[in-house]
Every structure is written in C-alpha cells, then in structure tokens.
Structure 1
Amino acid sequence: MYQSRVWTYAAVFATCLCWFSLRALAQNLDITHPAEVTALQAIKGSLVDPNKNLSNWNRGDPCTANWTGVLCYNTSLSDGYLHVKELQLLNMNLSGSLSPELGRFSFMKILDFMWNKITGSIPKEIGNITSLELLLLNGNQLSGPLPDELGYLPNLDRIQIDQNYISGSLPKSFAYLNKTKHFHMNNNSISGQIPHELSRLPSLVHFLLDNNNLSGYLPPQFSELPNLLILQLDNNNFDGTTIPDSYSKMSKLLKLSLRNCSLQGPIPDLSGIPNLGYIDLSSNQLNGSLPSGKLSDEITTINLSNNNLTGTIPANFSGLPHLQKLSIANNSLDGSVPASLWQNRTLNATGGLILELQNNNLTTISGTGSTEVPLNVTVWLRGNPVCSSANLNKFCGSESDDKNSSQGSTNSTASYFRPYKSTFEEYLTTGLNLSLDQLDITSFDWEKGPRLRMYLKLFPVHVKDNSSHTFNESEVQRIMGMFTSWNIPDSTVFGPYELINFILLDPYKNVVATSTKSGLGKGALAGIILGTIAGAVTLSAIVSLLILRKHLRTTTQFQEDVIHPRAP
C-alpha cells in the first residue's frame, strides 16, 4: 500500500514537474500559444492560395519564424506565450472561405483580409475577439447576413465590409458598438430599415451605406449623433420618405449625400450647419422651393439636380467663397439667373466654378455686366427660355455640347484637387514623419464611386556622399505599418481614406511585416538614398477631399498599389 502511494505521488510530482518545465520552456523560447497555432493552420486550410503567399505557414513557430501576414506582440503575455496581434493578408489573391477558428485569437487587434476573392459568410465567431479594433474585410466576395455577434466587440474602432455581397438587415446589436467610429458598408446588398437604435452610437464619425438595398425611412434620431461627420446613403430606396427636418441640427456634419434615394418632400434648411461642405440630394423627387438660408462658407458642392423643385434661384447661392459646383439642372425653376453667382470670382485657391442650370424655366440673366463671365467659371443654360436670346449663345450649347460638358466635368473633377495638392503633401509627409521631398504624387484620377485615386512614390532621405540607395528594412516596416494600421494621424483637410494595396517590389520584395515598437525618426535614416516604396492612394468620397477645409476634423482613406522603383 505504502509503496503504491509512493509511486502515485512520484507520478504526480513528475507530471507537475513536466508541466512546469514545459511552461518554463515556452517562456524561455517565446512560442506562440498552441490554440492560435492550430487556428492559423485551420485558416490556411479554408483558404485557396494560388500564389503560395502562405507557403511558410508550416515552417517553425508563427511568431518567431515570421509567418507571412502574422504579426505578434513583441513579448510573451501573462500566460507565458506569444500571441497574434495582427493578421495582415491584404491583396494576396486569396479565395476560399473564412474559418470559424478566427475566433480563437483572444488578443488580436487587427484582422485584415482586404481586396482578396474570399467567398462564403462572415463567421459569427469573430465576435469572440473582444480585443479587436479593426475589422477589414472589404473588397471580397463575401455573402450572407452580418452576424449579430459583431455588435458585441467592445473595442472595435472600424468595420469595413464594403464591396462585397452582404445581404440581410443591419443588426440592432450594432447599437452597442460604443467605440466604433467608421461604418464602411457601401456597395453590398444590405436591405431593410436602418435601425433607429444606431442613433445611440457616441463615437460614430462616418456612416457609409451607399449602393445597397435599404428601405423604410431615414431615422430622424440620427440628428442626435454627437460626432457624425459624413452621412452617405446614395442609391438606396427610401420610397416616399422625406428628409427629416432634424437633420438641420447635425452641427458637426461635413457631408450629406442622399443621391437617388426616392426621397420626396421639401429640402430642409441646412444653413445652421456651420462647416457643411458638400450636399448631394440629386435624382430624387424633392419638391418645393430652394431653401433661402445662406449655407456655410465652407460649401464646395451643391447638387440638387433631377428633382421637382420650383421657384426662383435664391440669393444665398451667391457669395459662397469656396463653391466649386452648383447643379440645379432638370427642375422647374423660373425667374432670372442672378449674375452674382459668378461675379467677383477670381482664380483663387479653390479653383474654378461650374454652374449647371440646364432644363428649367429660367427667362433672363439679371445684374450688372451679366454676360461677363470669368475664365474659371462655366455656365450651362441649355433648355431654358433664356436661350432664345441670340447674345447668350455662349451659355446655350447644343445637347451634344451639354453631354460633353457633363462628361468633361466628371472627368475633370480631379483637377479640383490641384489647389489642395501641396496641403495634402504636407499632411501626408508629416503624418509619416518624412520630408516633403520624399513624396511624389505621380497622378490622381477620378473614379466611379466617386473616388479620387492617387499613385504615390515615397523616397528615402537624400544624404550627400552616401552610397546607399534604399530604405532600410525597419523603415519599410514602419511606413507599411502606418498605412495598414490606420496610424496616420487624422487630417484637418482630407478624409476618409481606404487602403487598396501595399505591394513591395525589389529591392523590398522580401521584407516581412513584423510587429515593431515605435517607428524610426528622420535621424535614423542617415545614409539612405533614392530607393522607393511604391504606393497608390485612393481617397473615397471625393467630397471629403474637395470640401473639407483647414479647420475641419476627419480621417482619410488611402489605396496603395504597385509603382516600380525609380532608378538611382
């Protein structure tokens, strides 16, 4: 009996010793938590990886062997293991589906599968990652409904599911996302009513649900959102509903875009919104007269075309110093066209002015020197009785001229960025801790959406008499991390931005993204010259780019793409 007990105690002691030894070994070796290793293997198994980007996911330990896209905390946590902090699998041509094992990462902050070809549904298990801050699934082929469980992510700052095939309604549980600032869900098939419960979201800044199948009414309670900057719901079907008068109380609103939403009724008085920069209420069935209150001096775009508006053009559309486009075409407006709309316009910092007044019942042009139009102003009056006057032919081109003008104004909208180009360069390089001469914006083009796509090149600091031609690896990782983690500080002019890709070519092709501590300053770049990181920036929401002025607060959205290195 005694001997048996001795052996039992010995076995227990040996087991405990073995366990403590293994735990100590794990701490000494800094290995990844076994549950997360298993989860990564399951994730790889559910994906199709034709380019073999994940081929090193079966070699060594995920955190210590630098598995592609797996970024870990620098040190082991309280349980003695390393844990995955970020899963960055941006634009790797992955297909297949998302594994439910994604819910195993208890300490993850960033989950990024943007711009792949992944199908299937969003796993409800993602709702278990209570540490998650960025959920980035946009630009895939995901379908099915949004899981209710996503509404219980207490630390979520940004949810991007745009450009998928998500269907079903918006979960009411999203009303619990108290820290979420960015709802980017445009270009899906989301249907049903916008839950009025979402008006409780204290941190909401951007609410982008354009190009979906939403219906019902516009929640008047949205006026209670204390920090809302952008409300963009274009191309939905709020059949027969009106724009709530309460929207005139959105004191921080910068952009209101409700184009082609089957809205009826009058336009509310928006003159009390101090920094409103962009209004698009076009292609609805709005009626009544144009509001007479003077809009914000920050306004750059007013598009009220293709409605049933009546009455005259009010004086409040004149004297708007930063106005770039006024479109009230295809309504039933009458009376005279005030020449004050274009008088006193100069070649100022905001560029030109386009006035689209076609197809109304406008009969005259009033004001002194009414036919003298500055070179940077374009006025279109075709389809109005005023065009019967022979001396106004310059305002009244043919229908084909009108179509060409419309297409030209769309294609040339990117030119409105030119006055802001230097401000953008200063903002971006300051945010990245680079010098102005390290950035080259090679082009910027307008896209459907609308979005302004930029192509960027970033260059190392030029140091005289130094033979190096490239960024060092740490600086590549730092810059990449600034983009992929949305760590570029908020802009006082631009926003919001969306990252499309960040692909490194030679000589940076083999640089592996890793978790790094604070980034290097300019002083650490001595001896680095003339190499280039390739990038492309796309700012979604043209208006945010074109309209927001220096004192406004919002965030930006970038898109990165490949640009070959510049030769030394």
Structure 2
Amino acid sequence: MDLSPWLVVLFTALVQASAILADTDSQDYTGLVAIADNWNPNPSNWIGNDPCGDNWTGIICTGNRVTSIRLSSFGLSGFLSGDIQSLSELVHLDLSYNKELGGSLPASIGSLSNLENLILVGCSFSGELPNELGQLTNIIFLSLNSNKFSGSIPASLGRLSNLYWFDLADNQLTGGLPIFDGTNPGLDNLTNTKHFHFGMNQLSGTIPSQIFSSDMKLIHVLLDNNNFSGSIPSTLGLLSPLEVLRFDNNPLLSGPVPSNINNLTKLAELHLENGKLTGPLPDLTGMTALSFVDMSNNSFNASDVPSWFTTLPSLTSLFLENLNIAGQLPQALFSLPAIQTLRLRGNRFNGTLTIGSDFSAPLQLIDLQDNDISSFTISGSQYNKTLILVGNPICVPGSSEKYCTPPGKSNPAAAPYYTPMNCSVLPPTCLSDQLLSPTCICAVPYRGTLFFRSPSFSDLTSPSNFVPLEQDMKVKFTRLNLPVDTISIHDPSFAQSNNLQLSLELFPSGKVHFSEQDISNIGFVLSNQTYKPPSLFGPYYFIAQRYPFANGLQVPSESKSTNRLPLIIGVSVGGAVLVTVLLALVIVFAKRKRSPKKNEERSQSFVSWDMKSTSASTIPQLRGARTFTFDELRKITNNFSEANDIGNGGYGKVYRGTLPSGQLVAVKRSQQGSLQGSLEFRTEIELLSRVHHKNVVSLVGFCLDQDEQILVYEYVPNGTLKESLTGKSGVRLDWRRRLRVVLGAAKGISYLHELAEPPIVHRDIKSSNVLLDERLNAKVSDFGLSKPLGEDGRGQVTTQVKGTMGYLDPEYYMTQQLTDKSDVYSFGVLMLEVLTAKKPLERGRYIVREVKAAVDRTKDLYGLHELLDPVLGASPLALAGLEQYVDLALRCVEEAGADRPSMSEAAAEIERVIKMAGGPGAPGHESASESMSYASRTPRHPYGGDSPFDYSGGGMPSSRVEPK
C-alpha cells in the first residue's frame, strides 16, 4: 500500500494550520530570532512567532516579509551576526545610536540585494569594511560614520551606482582614496553620488585627480581632518554643482590651490585651513554664493588685500589668520550685508582701520590681533560689538581702550544660545528622570547632539540663527506624525573638528515618556536625513543618547498575540494531533519501504537543523564529524588556557587540544562579536563532513553545547602558505617546495571538482586558505563560500558574486555564472603569488596584469627577474621549469573560462614541472621532511589569522570578499 498521497495531504494540512499561527515568512522569523540572540536587551514586545502580525517594535513588513529594521537609541549591546542574510527582502537597516553594539560588520550583509538604507551611526563597529558592501547595488544611503572601522576604503564601493549619501566620517580608516585602475572600480565611478563625507579619519596619500570629473553630481566633498598630502587636483574645478568643500586640517596638504576654483559658483562653504598650501592666495572673484571662508594657517605667498574681499554678498564669516596679507582693510568689508565674524589676526594689515556708520548689523566680532594698524576711526554711532586690536601699534602700553584689552578679560564672549522657557505659572518640580520642557511640562525627553558639518554662520548667540531651526523641526516632525511637543536647543559650540555641535532635546506630546515605537520612528527620521534642516545649517549627523524607557523597556500593551490566545490553543491542539498521526504513518511507511542504501549513508542535511536546540535529536549525525560537549572541549584544552591559545581573530580564539586518543586538534571557539552566523556555521560543518582527501583540511567535529559554536579541526602546525611567502610563519620555501605545495593545492581542488559528490566549487582559493602540515603538504581550507554544482555533477550555478579581491574570476563577476573554471582562475592567481610573493592586488597594481605586461619569452626566465621573489634567486638553474610554470599560470587566468585548463590538467602539468625542477625521483631530490628549514620562532597556528567562519574570504582584514 502506497501511503504517500495520504502523507502529502496530512502534511499540507499541518502546514496550513501552522500558518494560522504565524503570518511572517519563516526564514525572516528565524533570522530575526537568531540576530536578537546576540543582542541585549531586545524590545519588550519581541515575543511570539509573528513579527509582522504582532507589530514587533522597529520591524516593518511588506506582506509577510520583513523589509525594515529600525532600532536606533535602544541601548543594544552585542554584535550583528551573519544571520542578517536571512532577511533577503530587507530594504532599511537602522541600528544607529547603540554605542555598545559593535564587533565586525558581517560579510554576509552583502547578500541583501534589496537593501537601500544601511545606517549604523554612532555605534562601536570595528574592523575592516567588508568588500561585500560593493554588492549592495541598490543602496542609496550608506551611513557608517562615528564607529571604529579601520583599514582602507574598499574599492568595491565604486560599484554602488545608485548611491546618494556616502558617509564614512569619524572612524579610523587609513590608506588612500581608491580609483578605477582598469580592472577594479573606484570612487570616481560614483557619478550619481552627491555626498562624500570622509572627514575625521586617518586617510592619507595624494588626492587623485581622477576622483573628480564633470560627470559627477557631488554637492558635498568633506575630506577634512585626515592626513592627505600633495596638492589639490585641478579637476576639483569641474565639480560645478559643489556647495560645500572641506580640505581643512590636513597638515601635509601642500601646493597651490587650483586657479579654476572660482568656477565653483555654487560653493557656499570653503574650508582650507591648517595645511601647507602655497602659491598665491586663491582668487574667489565671482563666487557669490560663498558664506563661510576659512583659509587660515597656510603658507600662501605674501599678498596685498585681495579685491574679492568686498564682492561676496553672502559672506557671513571670513577667517584668514596668519597668512601674511598686507595693506589697508577696505571700509566696505564691514558693510557686507550678512557679515558676522572677521578673524584676521596674524597678518600685516596696516594704516587706519575705518568702520563706517553703515557697518553691518549682524557683525559681532572683528579680530585683528597682531597686525600693523596704527589708528582707528568710526563714523556715526559707536561700534559696540567685539573689536580686538591687541598687538597692533595703536595699542600702546597703558592704553585704556577696550579694544586693546586681551580677549577673555573685559571682552567676554556673549553666552551661547539657549531655548528660552515660557512658563505661565510657577514651574513644577520634576522627578529625577524628567526635565522641564520649554513650555514648563515635566517629561522624559529624547536627547542627543546634532553635529552640523558646514554651517553658514559663526554667531552662536543670536536667536535668529537657532529659532528657525526649532520651528522648522517642530513643523516637520508634526507633518511626519511624530509625537513631539516641544524642542529645546542649547550650548552651541564649534568642536575641534570645526563642526558646529548643539544639544537637542525632544519632548513627548501628551505623555511623560516616548514609547519604543516613537523612538524607533524619531531615530530613523534623524539618522537617515528624512528631516532636512534649514539651508544655513548644512549637512548634519545626530548622535543620540540611550532613551530611558520606563522600567528599562516599555511594558507592552495588549497585543494581537494576546487576543489570539484561544485560537492559538485550539490550533496547537489540532496541530499536535496531526503531528501524532503523521509520525505514526511515517513509521508504518518506513517499515514497508526502506530507502536505498546510498540514501541511508548520506549525511543528514543541515537545512532542517534547528540551531535553537542542542538536544541529541536535533543535531544531525554528519558522516565523519563528531559532536563534542562543551565540557569535553574544555577538558582537552585545559579549560581554554592561555598556554593553549594558538591564534585569534574577529570570531574569537583558537586553542590547541589533545583528544584522549592522543590526536592533536585545533579548537576554534566563537565569541560574542564574531562574524559568524548560524547559517555559515552549519555550512562549514556540512561541507567539510562530506569531503575527505589528504589535501583538504579535515573537520574532526563541532560543539553546540551551552550556546557555544565551536569547530574542531585536525591540527595543521605550519601555518598558511601566505604566512610562509611573507615570512611570518618562519617556514622557508625554496622553488621545489613551492611547486610541491602548489601541486598539493591543485590535487585538493581537483578532488572537489571531479570526485566530490556533488562536485564543489570552492570559490575562495587563495594563499591564506592553503595550510601546510608538518611535512609541508598543502591542505585546502575554509569552505564558507563553497557551492555545490548540483546533483547532476556538472554545469554551472547562477549565484551572487563572492570571492576575494584579486583572486576573483572576471567572467564569473560579469555573468554571475559560477563554474569550476572560476576556481581555476583563482588558482592561477595563487600560482603567480607563489612565484612573486606579492599580494595579488596592492596599491592599484594587479599581479596578473603585471606579469602579462612583463613576460618576454625571448629572455631567460621570461624576463621576470624584477617580479620574482628575491628569496628564490634568479638563475635559470635554480628555477628550472619556471617558463612552463608561468605558461600554465597564464592559461589559468585567461579571460574566458573555456580557454582555461581543468584542475586535473593543471595538476598533471605541475607534476611535469616538478620533474624538470628535480622533483621526486630526480637526482638530488630531497623530501620535504628532510629539507624543511625553519626560522627561530614560536609556532603560530594557521587558524589564528583567518576568521573561523568568515565566508567572505577567510577573515583576515586584508582578505575580505571583493568582486573584481
């Protein structure tokens, strides 16, 4: 009797019954729960199994799919796990203002192909920016400022053709600005981007001329507070839409300012202060939109007062300190209609200072300290604002004139602006967690600091600058249906970075506390620039304080899940009955019809593996992989002692352990902040448990006990091939040993392609994923990006592009068609790396292109003497077979996959090269065990440098995933 139809009917009924309980897509629900497991605390109403139907705070859905996560200012701590990739329909991700939320940004975020907003402002994320960000081709708003990101700006970000807002400011980024080099993209490809905000980092090198062009739509270029050197490129003058330019506080920036800068007729803010700029003082004639100009503390040539001083009608602030400018100041300068501040100290202005009766009403400060002014006249009424002439001949010793008094004594600065209180009655006394609003109501405000990067004013005392901001914020928040009653602004000041900062307090309307959902909505409005301030404030960013919800978090109101309790109980009972019947039928059916032996032997799939459970019944019994308890691993590593610590990375640490059988193992223990998500953890286990070859690293087992994620590998003592080539491991490889390592890697990859069932494409072949055992045998490792080619055994797979910068197959990148020839390309790059000991891609130089350009088959060693690793020597005798080796490597990196050899063909050719070089059986050949040479060192375990579960290319900061 065939019971299959009945099983299908019953199973369908069970699925439909379960669907009543949860409308949210199961993958999205599972992903959210996995992500939340790494956070503390979570919003109070994140309960049940239906985030969409139960309106989880901060979660917005379209249909049954989660499309938005907005959790700014929730005081989250922990890290963002790789499970974020489960939310494949995500459009908005905003986790801003959670300063305890950190760790590395998971590479899997690059798989969110629908993502438009990625906003992580004011958190503590660290490590390198993953190259996979370049796969977010729909991204419009990328705001990662005010974190602790380090390393260079990935060139892959040049692929973000839809990017509008690009903010990496206030991090610890180093290196230069990447540009298109003929192979890899660069920031110059971002012709639709309007905002380059890269200030307050440690970026260096010259500003490449290619980065600016007439095709670009940039309106804000902020490169301030970095370490750029060289001169400002003349291509800057091609950016006709530009409104804000900041090159200030780059102490090594030198050379003249491009003479075509006055082509920027829309420019309102110009900051060039605190550098080593030379040449003539820039001519700003015709730049009538300029409001704020600061070029202080440079090395411009001595000059007379420029004619453009009195021709800028919008000018509010002119800062030209210590520039050696000479001559008499024109009276018209003080009558410019909008002028507020003149800071001109440390020059050679001379003669008589004349301020006419028509001086501008907004003019608050004239600072002319340390000049050569000999007299002062004023027409009409007395100028009663701040005038400072200390250090001029006019201020003779004993002078009683107030302008001869050093600032800070009898010329105190006026108090900065503070939103006034408007109380009709005696103000109440507020509780300790409450503040008094401007309308004299006690409430708990949402507080933080607004940072404006280019305000067009400098007077911090005038209500005329700040009252419009308060009014504008109130109107726009009301239009957005945000429950904001009043707004308080106070303590404006200019920070060391020259950003205007002011404290902001938003008070709730009609209640004492904002709700969690209120904070989610308000935070998102401020973090993604939904709110646009008046134009005189310019671009901004906001850093909020954690909001003190009542009792830590809001008590949830009666929800949909509460109202559905009778339905849940009824459906649960019915579902239990269906499950019981279904299981009984499955047992009967199994007894009548057993699966073929092949299926019995196949490892249990990880797809249905419930990571939330650690019971023996839920953990799959994978062939070749043992399940360890946490206590077992603690014992074999001596309680994870420092003495057994052999490496670490962003995921956690690696420990040496000894099993009771005496086998040495490497125990990789993930910790909070790891790049690893549960899906990647399962993938590593599933794939490694299915492959068994002497040139592929072996998985001994894994542990899921006590909420731990631990992998146990065979112990491979001699580090990675990359460490040997760079000298870090202390293992020295001569020509013949390198050929043996390359051959071993080729055989391991060939096994994956031709003998694994189904065939596997590794997708991340590189030197840091080739390990060396005690006899220097190569072992291919890190299967996080690997992809089966299907049960039919051959063909291709259409998939998102993943790989590592410099090794990635260009055909795969262009077509997204993955084949085994993609590994062949990466292997060819690895061959060239072994030959040269150079990184495949470094400072814009691509090893494939370098070798192709240098090859001269009419010369010894193909004319590659300058590219060869000096450790190898450069004699044809010492490098026998090199020409054939190079020919093979160049065949492997052919543009078209069809023109590349298979891995088995490549392995056979390498064996022939080894015989030419005096390989096994050749006279004088030494075995690896007899000829190994080590520097004096403390062994470093190969797993210590790469992340254990980094499915973006191995986990070392320099090898993140990067489509070429």
Q: TM-score, normalised by structure 1?
A: 0.73
Residue 326 of structure 1 aligns with an amino acid whose one-letter code is L
Residue 186 of structure 1 aligns with an amino acid whose one-letter code is G
**What's 2:342 paired with?**
326
| Cα deviation, residue 140, structure 1 | 1.2
The match for 1:457 is: 506
Q: Does 1:197 align with 2:210?
A: yes
1:418-497 → structure 2 map (5 Å cutoff): 418-433=463-478, 438-448=485-495, 449-450=497-498, 451-460=500-509, 478-489=521-532, 491-497=534-540
Q: Larger deviation: 255-264 or 316-325? A: 316-325
Note if contact 1:69-1:89 (Cα within 8 Å) is conserved in structure 2: no
Local SS of the residue matching 1:102: helix
Q: What's the counterpart of residue 374 of structure 2?
A: 363
| 2:97 counterpart of 1:91 | yes
1:222 Cα deviation from its structure 2 partner: 1.6
For the residue of structure 1 that corresponds to 2:270, the secondary structure is strand
Matched letter for residue 198 of structure 1: I
Say which one has the larger Rg: 2
- Could you tell me which of 402, 420, 423 is aligned with 1:394? 402
Change (3 A) 1:281 1:510: same
Equivalent runs, 1:126-141 vs 2, <5 Å: 126-141=133-148
Q: Matched residues in 1 for 2:55 and 2:232: separation? A: 48
Q: Counterparts of 1:458 and 1:96 in 2: how far apart (Å)? A: 33
Distance change (3 Å), C-alpha of 1:98 and 1:477:
closer
After TM superposition, the structure 1 = structure 2 runs for residues 402-417 of structure 1, keeping only pairs within 5 Å, are 402=407, 408=413, 415-417=460-462
Give how far 1:424 is off. 1.5
**2: CA distance, partners of 1:268 / 1:118:** 40
Three-state SS of the structure 2 residue aligned to 1:170 is: coil
Flag structure 1 segments of 5+ consecutive residues without an equivalent: 462-467, 513-568
**Partner residue in 2 for 1:530:** none
Report the CA distance between 1:345 and its aligned residue: 3.8
| Change in CA separation of 1:268 and 1:25 when aligned onto 2, cut-off 3 Å | farther
Within a 5 Å distance, the mapping from 1:175-324 to structure 2 comes to 175-200=188-213, 202-287=216-301, 288-293=303-308, 294-324=310-340
1:121 corresponds to which letter in structure 2? E
- 1:223 is paired with a residue of what secondary structure? helix
Alpha-carbon shift at residue 430 of structure 1 (Å): 2.5
In 1, Cα distance between equivalents of 2:345 and 2:415: 15
Question: Conserved in 1, the CA contact under 8 Å of 2:265 and 2:286?
Answer: yes
Counterpart of 1:454 in structure 2: which amino acid? Answer: S
Q: Deviations over 1:195-237 (max 9, x none)?
A: 2233235321211111101111112222221321110111103
Distance in 2, matches of 1:358 and 1:193, equals: 35
Secondary structure at 1:90 match in 2: coil
Note closer, same or farther for the CA distance 1:94–1:476 as it changes in structure 2 (3 Å cut): closer
Q: Offset at 1:269?
A: 2.4
The match for 2:165 among 153, 158, 161 is: 158
Q: May I ask how many residue pairs the two structures share in their alignment? A: 482
1:259 partner amino acid: E
Could you say if the C-alpha distance between residues 240 and 487 of structure 1 is closer, same or farther in structure 2, counting changes exceeding 3 Å? closer
CA 1:262–1:154: 2 relative to 1, 3 Å: same
The alpha-carbon deviation at position 123 of structure 1 amounts to: 0.6
Between the aligned partners of 1:42 and 1:145, the Cα distance in structure 2 is 30
Answer whether contact 1:39 1:101 (CA < 8 A) is retained. no
- Code of the aligned partner of 1:327: R
Percent identity (aligned): 28
**Structure 1 residue 139: Cα displacement:** 1.4
Q: Which amino acid aligns with 2:90?
A: V
Aligned residue among 388, 400, 408 for 1:380: 388
Counterpart secondary structure, 1:126: helix
Work out the CA distance in 1 between the residues paired with 2:233 and 2:398.
49
Checking the alignment, whether the CA contact within 8 Å between 1:217 and 1:238 is kept in structure 2 is no
**One-letter amino acid of the structure 1 residue matched with residue 234 of structure 2:** P
Retained in 2: the 8 A contact 1:43–1:99? no
Contact 2:489 2:504 in 1 (8 A): yes
| 119 and 239 in structure 1: CA distance in 2 versus 1, 3 angstrom threshold | closer
Would the aligned equivalents of 1:358 and 1:382 in 2 still touch at CA under 8 Å?
A: yes
* Distance of 1:119 and 1:58 partners within structure 2: 30
| One-letter code aligned to 1:247 | I
Q: Would you say 1:510 and 2:510 are equivalent positions?
A: no
Q: Over aligned residue pairs, what C-alpha RMSD do you find? A: 4.0
The AA in structure 2 aligned to 1:418 is P
Q: Which amino acid aligns with 2:464?
A: P
Equivalent residue for 2:817?
Answer: none
Distance 2:147 2:113 in 1: 25
Is the alpha carbon distance of 1:198 and 1:239 closer, same or farther for their aligned partners in structure 2, counting shifts above 3 Å?
A: closer
Q: Alpha-carbon deviations, 1:289-323, whole Å to 9, x = none?
A: 22112232221100000222223323442311221
TM normalised by structure 2 equals: 0.45
Q: Describe the superposition over 1:274-303 as per-residue Cα deviations: whole angstroms up to 9, x where unpaired.
A: 221000001111231221122322211000
Tell whether the 8 Å contact from 2:159 to 2:189 is kept in structure 1 after alignment.
yes
What amino acid is the match of 2:187? F
Q: Is the 8 A contact 1:286 1:309 kept in 2?
A: no
Q: 1:184 to 1:57 in 2, by over 3 A?
A: farther
